[in-house]
Structure 1
Amino acid sequence: MTASKLYILDTNVLLHDPKCLYEFKEQDIAIPMTVLEELDDIKDRKKNVSSEARHAIRAIDHILSGASTSAQITKGVPIKQNALNGVDTRLGKLSIFPDHELTMRQGFLPNDHNKDNLIINCALHLQATNPHREIILVTKDINMRLKALGAGLLKVEDYRTDQLVSDIELLPAGHYQMEGNFWEHVTDVKSYQEGKYTFHQIDRSILPNTYPAEYIYDESDGFAARVISVDEETITLQDLNHERIMQQNCWGIEPINIQQAFAMQAVLDPSIDLAILNGAAGSGKTLVALACALEMVIEDKQFNKIIVTRSTPPVAEDIGFLPGTEEEKMTPWLSAIHDNLEAMHEQDERPQSSVKYAIEKANIQFKSLNFIRGRSIQDALVLIDEAQNLTPSQLKTIITRCGKGSKMICLGNLAQIDSNYLTPLTSGLTYIVERFKDYPGAANVHLEGIFRSELAEYAEEHL
């Protein structure tokens, strides 16, 4: 029986989620030859999506390996679910369409070596020659979707299988402010002491939408706590003492507002394995994280080193290959770390010497994403900078490297995505915020306020 739908996949869909071939259920998938050529071109580039290109090529090869002739590949090879989980369940079929053999005809977009046009023409041809089937082009490129619809393609879709929230405004902030005084809302409480910490057990109805590791505070600035656990009837809060967390000091840095105080608490707390700090440019994410990291490594000796990594997309034109060692190549990308180190030591008699001392004493290592894969990172504090430019699979790769005695700090701003393959809704940063929402060992804090300068604050609000 022939599937009723035929999905034509664009290159960016395969790069965004190399496992997408198993997400279309019983329907068929066609991949134009142009897409394979693009994947082949990308897989050898020094780009943060080269690994995804290789992964996608291997997935395609795995499915088509059962075909013995080119005719079978063109007709379609059954996709078997056992490629993922060992269950021999047939899905639809995967075929490679030889779009390079198409000749120009009326209704086609100009064939001027524009790969988007070639892929759209492939979809138009299949729509014309398969009137009994629903032909759907799937792409994450908004402009390509508009071009395809304008050219006469009846059905064009975005790939949203991995999209966890429908609106970025629905993403949890990691903290919640209660009106008035917190204790005015509480009629029954059970408080107890464990070591130096005080805990409060309250009724679930007071905070019906809360989740583990969410921070709670009130308008009176008299109460601050973190949710430790949630069950059907009760919520357990750890009292953080509002005054005390506002007086935290790490490497000479103190919190300016309550969100920065929560961020410092999340990074410093040994029970938190993953601290996610997101917010606008200038809100203090990197400064807070770096100050806490230096305090924990140099003063408290909780970790042996600080590993800093990030994606490396160019903001403007690529400047080409950089000479030197891995760390020397990464230095231009991680200048934000140096800027914040300099800011923390600007009052010192010899600031540059202080920065050098901090880098050496804390054993700060700058690592490329390409060399993070396959490692097991032990007794280290890992700072993942510019996480908004990472795909969900890339962030999964990094976080699963976390070995014994290590902690991850993820920094990002969804308003500053530089990747052509990501949007705020499909960014890896959004992915892990939502996925770790119910994990008590992960804390997410959205930092509010911009403290870099009045110009930066105005630009963030008006541009």
Structure 2
Amino acid sequence: MGDTDRKIFVLDTNILLHEPLAIYSFQEHDVVIPMTVLEELDRIKDSKRDVSRDARVAIRALEDLFHDATPDQISEGIPLGTQEESKGTIAILADYEIKETVQAFADKHGDNRILNATLYLQNKRTPRQVVLVTKDINMRLRAKGAGVRFVEDYRTDQLIEDIRFLTKGYVEHDGLFWEKIDECHSENRGRSTIHTLPKHYFENPFINQYLLDEGTEFAARVKAVNEETVEIKDISRERLMSRTAWDVHPKNIDQAMAMDALMDPSIDLVILTGPAGCGKTILAMATALEQVIEKGMYDKIIVTRNTPDIAESIGFLPGTEEEKMMPWLAAVTDTMEALHKNDVCTEGSMKYIYEKANLQFKSINFMRGRSIQNAFVLLDECQNLTASQIKTIITRCGEGTKLVCSGNLAQIDSPYLTPVTSGLTYIVERFKDFEGSASLYLNGVVRSRLAEYAEQNL
């Protein structure tokens, strides 16, 4: 590979906060870190923000690379890896020495210096391709407006190109399923009927994928995917629709499949996606209460979610950790009220249930380092989490714990995440082939006709 074939990637600060070891993702190309990025990392590492730890990890990774390098070597670039095939380098650019060509608001001075550094390299290193990599959507627009020819998002942890390609967790076959099947071996395993079919009847099957057709009877779930065959468990739509948990019945087949996965003790991770009002939270809470209180399968229910700027604002709220979390977890308390609204004393019933189910509200910030045993964990609103944040939660789950991740990819609040780069999208794709997980997209708003019309028309 010639030098002109190697790209030069200029990294924005938010890339190293999103993935502290992102520098190692450009093994065959050259990476440039503007001095402004180091200054911003230095400012963030001592802050109370969630990303301060990521800033420190990124700084340590850079220090490990540059600790023996001379100032000239740092500015020219040192090898990025130890492998012989790794031809990439990493350098630090003193961008404060570059004459400004982009000027804008004073509060964007750091962004301006990074843009100026990119334009400087673009002019100096022609014909090599200089690419600015940033997760800030507005920064990408400003860069293009300023004359930067190549601007990209960080795509190393992006598994799909378009959110339309994200699996829904089920496949609906045209016509009647069994009319197309010529070869099938069926057997009873305990109380379940398992059908073994040739693999060519399926398109990209994965474990715990649900199968439907246009009829009113057939429903099944993939149990195993082999080289030439696929094993499916016959469930039937009638049995799915008749499921109940905490006196909650599914209103459509999507909710029925979700409830089946939520109630299955062999599934450790259930991922629920879908529009607002499709029933994600109420299904998760109803099945949690059913399995903790009625069946005694778990010892407690833990509810957690991402809270914007929580490190700075949670301390100003009164009360215990649970009481501080209540404003962010109102969706769960609203759901509890809905589940018990017909009781003689709703408030008394809820207080009793909170104690009986050992229901705990926790901040995602305080989950690191914990080991959660034999619990039903509900991670709500996780479309705003990065892949590394969701990994932090999943790796906390110990023996006997079931995790439910729910979110709406149309309601992302983070300025650096899009539906395809959200951690929720990432785990849907990553856990697709894991036998202990199931992912379902709940289509159809059941909250009210007002909510349904708003979802479709606004």
Q: TM-score, normalised by structure 2?
A: 0.93
Q: Which amino acid aligns with 2:429?
A: E
| Residue in 1 that maps onto 2:102 | 108
Matches within 5 A, 1:254-269: 254-269=249-264
Distance in 1 separating the partners of 2:93 and 2:168 = 45
Give structure 2 stretches of 5+ with no counterpart.
none
Q: Which amino acid aligns with 1:250?
A: A
The 3-state SS of whatever aligns with 1:323 is: coil
| Residue in 1 that maps onto 2:9 | 7
Tell me whether 1:147 sits opposite 2:139 in the alignment: no
CA separation of 1:194 and 1:118: change in aligned 2, threshold 3 A: same
Give structure 1 stretches of 5+ with no counterpart.
82-86
| Residue in 1 that maps onto 2:91 | 95
8 A contact 1:26–1:92 mirrored in 2: yes
8 A contact 2:49–2:309 mirrored in 1: no
Match of 1:448 among 443, 453, 457: 443
8 A contact 1:273–1:442 mirrored in 2: yes
| Residue in 1 that maps onto 2:39 | 37
Distance in 2 separating the partners of 1:377 and 1:130 = 52
The 3-state SS of whatever aligns with 1:127 is: helix
Q: Which amino acid aligns with 1:159?
A: Y
Give 1:47 shift: 3.8
Give 1:319 shift: 9.0
| Residue in 2 that maps onto 1:224 | 219
Q: Which amino acid aligns with 2:8?
A: L
Distance in 2 separating the partners of 1:128 and 1:328 = 56
Distance in 2 separating the partners of 1:124 and 1:200 = 61
Tell me whether 1:421 sits opposite 2:413 in the alignment: no
CA separation of 1:322 and 1:31: change in aligned 2, threshold 3 A: farther
8 A contact 2:137–2:416 mirrored in 1: no
Give 1:270 shift: 1.0
CA RMSD of superposed structures (Å) = 2.3
Q: Which amino acid aligns with 2:153?
A: D
8 A contact 2:314–2:324 mirrored in 1: no
CA separation of 1:66 and 1:454: change in aligned 2, threshold 3 A: farther
Distance in 2 separating the partners of 1:242 and 1:152 = 57
Give 1:413 shift: 0.8
| Residue in 1 that maps onto 2:77 | 76
| Residue in 2 that maps onto 1:62 | 64
Matches within 5 A, 1:282-431: 282-313=277-308, 321-431=316-426
The 3-state SS of whatever aligns with 1:147 is: helix
Q: Percent identity?
A: 54
The 3-state SS of whatever aligns with 2:148 is: coil
Give 1:39 shift: 2.4
Matches within 5 A, 1:172-321: 172-313=167-308, 321=316
8 A contact 2:27–2:81 mirrored in 1: no
Distance in 2 separating the partners of 1:55 and 1:277 = 32
Tell me whether 1:134 sits opposite 2:126 in the alignment: no
Q: Deviations over 1:202-227 (max 9, x none)?
A: 22222233221101122222011110
| Residue in 1 that maps onto 2:19 | 17
8 A contact 2:27–2:80 mirrored in 1: no
Distance in 1 separating the partners of 2:123 and 2:161 = 33
The 3-state SS of whatever aligns with 2:106 is: coil
Q: Deviations over 1:358-405 (max 9, x none)?
A: 111111111222221122211111111111111011111211122111
8 A contact 1:198–1:239 mirrored in 2: yes
Q: Which amino acid aligns with 2:102?
A: F
8 A contact 2:269–2:438 mirrored in 1: yes
Distance in 2 separating the partners of 1:153 and 1:454 = 47
CA separation of 1:177 and 1:125: change in aligned 2, threshold 3 A: same
Give 1:145 shift: 2.0
The 3-state SS of whatever aligns with 1:381 is: strand
Distance in 2 separating the partners of 1:444 and 1:393 = 19
Distance in 1 separating the partners of 2:376 and 2:431 = 19
CA separation of 1:328 and 1:132: change in aligned 2, threshold 3 A: same
| Residue in 1 that maps onto 2:51 | 49
Distance in 1 separating the partners of 2:68 and 2:216 = 66
Q: Which amino acid aligns with 1:112?
A: A
Give 1:232 shift: 2.8
Give 1:136 shift: 1.8
| Residue in 2 that maps onto 1:84 | none
8 A contact 1:108–1:124 mirrored in 2: no
Distance in 1 separating the partners of 2:175 and 2:91 = 62
Match of 2:166 among 159, 167, 171: 171
CA separation of 1:378 and 1:122: change in aligned 2, threshold 3 A: same
Distance in 2 separating the partners of 1:350 and 1:111 = 57
Distance in 2 separating the partners of 1:281 and 1:35 = 38
Q: Which amino acid aligns with 1:143?
A: N
CA separation of 1:91 and 1:373: change in aligned 2, threshold 3 A: farther
Give 1:2 shift: 6.5
CA separation of 1:314 and 1:221: change in aligned 2, threshold 3 A: farther
Distance in 2 separating the partners of 1:170 and 1:410 = 20
CA separation of 1:235 and 1:26: change in aligned 2, threshold 3 A: closer
Give 1:277 shift: 0.7
- Which 10-residue stretch deviates more, 69-78 or 201-210? 69-78
Q: Deviations over 1:251-271 (max 9, x none)?
A: 111100111111111011011
Give 1:113 shift: 4.3
Distance in 2 separating the partners of 1:386 and 1:120 = 34
Distance in 1 separating the partners of 2:426 and 2:89 = 29
Distance in 1 separating the partners of 2:128 and 2:213 = 57
8 A contact 1:384–1:408 mirrored in 2: yes
- Which 10-residue stretch deviates more, 374-383 or 342-351? 374-383
